[in-house]
Amino acid sequence: MHAVFAIARTTIGEAIRRRVLLVILLIALLLLVVAPGMNVLTARQSQTVLTSLILGVLQLSSAVIAIVLTVYMLPNEVERRTIYTILSKPVLRWQFLLGKYLGAVGALGLMMAMMTGTMILVFALVQRGASTDLLTGLARVPIMFFVQMCLLAAVAVFFSTFVQPVVNFFLSGGVYLVGTVFGSLFSTISENQNLPMVAKIGSNLIMWLVPNFAQYNVQNSVINQGSVIVSEQVYYAQMVIYGIVYISILLLAGMLIFDRREV
Amino acid sequence: MNLAIETKKLVKTYKGRGGSGITVVDNLDLEVGAGEIFGFLGPNGAGKTTTIKILLGIIAATSGEAYVLGGEAGDIEVHRRLSYLPEKPYYYEYMTGLELMRFYASLFKIKDEAKCIELLRRVNLGNDFNRPISQYSKGMQQRVGLAQSLLNDPELLFLDEPTGGLDPIAHIEIRDLILQFREEGKTVFISSHELSDVERICDRVAIINKGQIVAQGRLEHLLAGGRVEITADGVDQAMHDALMAPERVVSLKSGRLILDIADTDDVNSILDSLRTKQCKVQSIIPRRKRLEDLFIEAVGADDVAKGRERGRMTEKGEAVAVTETKEEENV
Ligand SMILES: Nc1ncnc2c1ncn2[C@@H]1O[C@H](COP(=O)(O)OP(=O)(O)O)[C@@H](O)[C@H]1O
Ligand SMILES: [Mg+2]
């Protein structure tokens, strides 16, 4: 485990210095700061619109960071031959891959914490009357987002063991979109009685294969004060467990592929 | 002999387009004794790096056997006792030299700050280890690479083109370090296409071309059999024709003869016949065989020519150019 953490630490150090990521982070922070200033709606409306807007910014930029962070991770190591020195030490390939993944997730966590902090601070300053309920909600939702992004990072790391970065970018991005936005579309297809069997089996297969990213989108409970998640803590715990299981499967599969691959 | 590296009929074939395979390492039989400085020579694309990667278990051989320090190539326990300096390495540039050493040390679970610093001093980075590697020159990067390769006090070092792309001074620094390793009894496996370095430090060499070993042995044996160059004036065509023989290079222009023969050839009788014909012998220059000659011999002169035409294999081209200029100096 020593080697795994050493590699993870190095990966974080590298990630937080990558210009592309810093630019994305900067843009996200800027949006989070500027958004509350666009105060054209009535107080009640504006709070709803604003929370959904800033949480959307947070989620989208986290997803972009998660993908950009991971798709180039392994190819870069190979291209720059840094992986060779590491693998010539007593380090097994799975340890290397795990270290890389943990590093990516660590860097992601840092960046998301920064965004979340900024978001809450600015929100509290602009919306003086915001309830503490709302503020803790704003702190809680990103935790689920983080689990979601860890899952997304695992998807990208899995793909990166056998496809090129650009392909991976679209693959992982596609999986994320299918798992969040189009999830309901596929469930409609599989429930529709009039469609042919093939389409139903196909969409069932997709729903079964693609991680259920949508279940981490818990922002509605904060945006619409009315809607609540029943037994919230249990739900969150379940989501974390689902994430860990799915991530483990993806990483194990990635390790098996990476172990056989020529680098 | 106690072997540090042994390969038996090692083969590596990459899948080419359309299912055809490219054999990059072809039936390689290598034996490197413990404590030897072993030169692994060959032009670019000969398969040197591929062989090293197989020996480290970074890639798998298609067939054949490879043993390193008594274990199978790639054995993780064996990796504790060896180290590897890749070709044109890159290190995490944001780190300082010392941070890089700490990182590699942690992969061995070594938490010895003093050792890291001591090794950096040893490679003359004592004043620079707190600077980021992005500010290092190529030579310094190579030296920090050597420092990290010494962290585990390895018995066996793989150095892939350790002097590639370095200026002459950096060359010498690296060479001196390798000579120190030799005194410490380490086995060093150096791959290179730069012959001049290897010539002075290696105990034994293998020359590889297109994946096959074309010559292998102790340097002094391989370099045995020099040439002698005889120059004479006032030579006629009949004399020229009489001197023609295999293994001789005879050239005549406006009465001046240049004769290049093996030192095992009968120099005396050639001189006698020249003198009987009243020719004036201008010079007799013995030339020890250089590694360059051996290299070109082994790799094949026509190969060099072909490579030039295609604009590939520039290193071999360079080797030839060097030989030519040196010959001119000799004349
Ligand atoms: N992954 C690969 N796939 C296909 N061919 C490769 C691969 N790696 C190396 N080669 C080819 O193998 C040959 C030997 O390469 P290499 O071992 O790097 O040579 P050297 O180190 O002696 O310059 C080259 O022709 C190179 O193009
Ligand atoms: Mg090479």
The band of B318, judged by pLDDT with boundaries at 50, 70 and 90, is very low
pLDDT at B72 over 70: yes
Q: Which of A3, A14, A81 sits opposite B89 (nearest CB)?
A: A81
Q: Does B148 touch chain A (CB under 8 A)?
A: yes
Q: Would the CB of B14 count as within 6 Å of ligand 1?
A: yes
Rounded to the nearest angstrom, the distance between the alpha carbon of B50 and the centre of ligand 2 is 7
Q: What percent of chain B has pLDDT over 90?
A: 48
Chain B residue nearest residue A9, CA to CA: B103
CA of B51, closest atom in ligand 1: 17
Cα–Cα distance measured from residue A159 to residue A175, given in angstroms and rounded to the nearest whole number = 11
Q: Would the CB of B323 count as within 6 Å of ligand 1?
A: no
Q: Give the pLDDT score at B330.
A: 39
Q: Give the pLDDT score at B301.
A: 56
Q: Give the pLDDT score at A7.
A: 96
CA of B47, closest atom in ligand 1: 17
Q: Would the CB of B86 count as within 6 Å of ligand 1?
A: no
Q: Verify whether the Cβ–Cβ distance A13 to B58 is below 8 Å.
A: no
Beta-carbon count within 10 A of B14 CB: 13
d(CA A14, nearest CA chain B) in Å:
7
The band of A44, judged by pLDDT with boundaries at 50, 70 and 90, is low
DSSP B83-107: EEE-SS----TTSBHHHHHHHHHHH
pLDDT in tens, B241-273: 888 888 888 899 888 999 988 888 888 999 999
Chain A residue nearest residue B146, CA to CA: A85
Q: Verify whether the Cβ–Cβ distance B79 to A89 is below 8 Å.
A: yes
Q: Would the CB of B193 count as within 6 Å of ligand 1?
A: no
The pTM of this model reads: 0.82
The overall average pLDDT reported for chain B is: 85
- Mean pLDDT value of segment A107-129: 90
Q: Does A121 touch chain B (CB under 8 A)?
A: no
Cα–Cα distance measured from residue B69 to residue B75, given in angstroms and rounded to the nearest whole number = 10
Q: Are A135 and A161 in contact (CB under 8 A)?
A: no
The three state secondary structure string of chain A is: CHHHHHHHHHHHHHHCCCHHHHHHHHHHHHHHHHHHHCCCCCHHHHHHHHHHHHHHHHHHHHHHHHHHHHHCHHHHHHHCCHHHHHHCCCCCHHHHHHHHHHHHHHHHHHHHHHHHHHHHHHHHHHCCCCCHHHHHHHHHHHHHHHHHHHHHHHHHHHHHCCCCHHHHHHHHHHHHHHHHCCHHHHHHHHHCCCCCHHHHHHHHHHHHHCCCCHHHCCCHHHHCCCCCCCCHHHHHHHHHHHHHHHHHHHHHHHHHHHHHCCC
Q: Does A19 touch chain B (CB under 8 A)?
A: no
Q: Would the CB of B212 count as within 6 Å of ligand 1?
A: no
Residues bordering ligand 2, an ion, CB closer than 5 Å: B 48-49, 87
Domains of chain B with CATH codes: 3-222 (3.40.50.300), 227-287 (3.30.70)
Which residue minimizes the CA distance to atom 5 of ligand 1? B14
CA distances from B183 to A79, A167, B37, B49, B186 (A): 35, 51, 10, 26, 8
pLDDT in tens, A52-89: 888 999 999 999 999 999 999 999 999 888 999 999 99
Determine how β-strand B82-85 pairs with β-strand B37-41.
unpaired
Beta-strand runs (E) in chain B = 3-15, 21-33, 37-41, 63-68, 71-72, 82-85, 156-160, 187-192, 204-209, 212-218, 227-233, 249-253, 256-262, 280-287
CA of B160, closest atom in ligand 1: 21
Q: Any idea which ligand is nearest the CA of B14?
A: 1
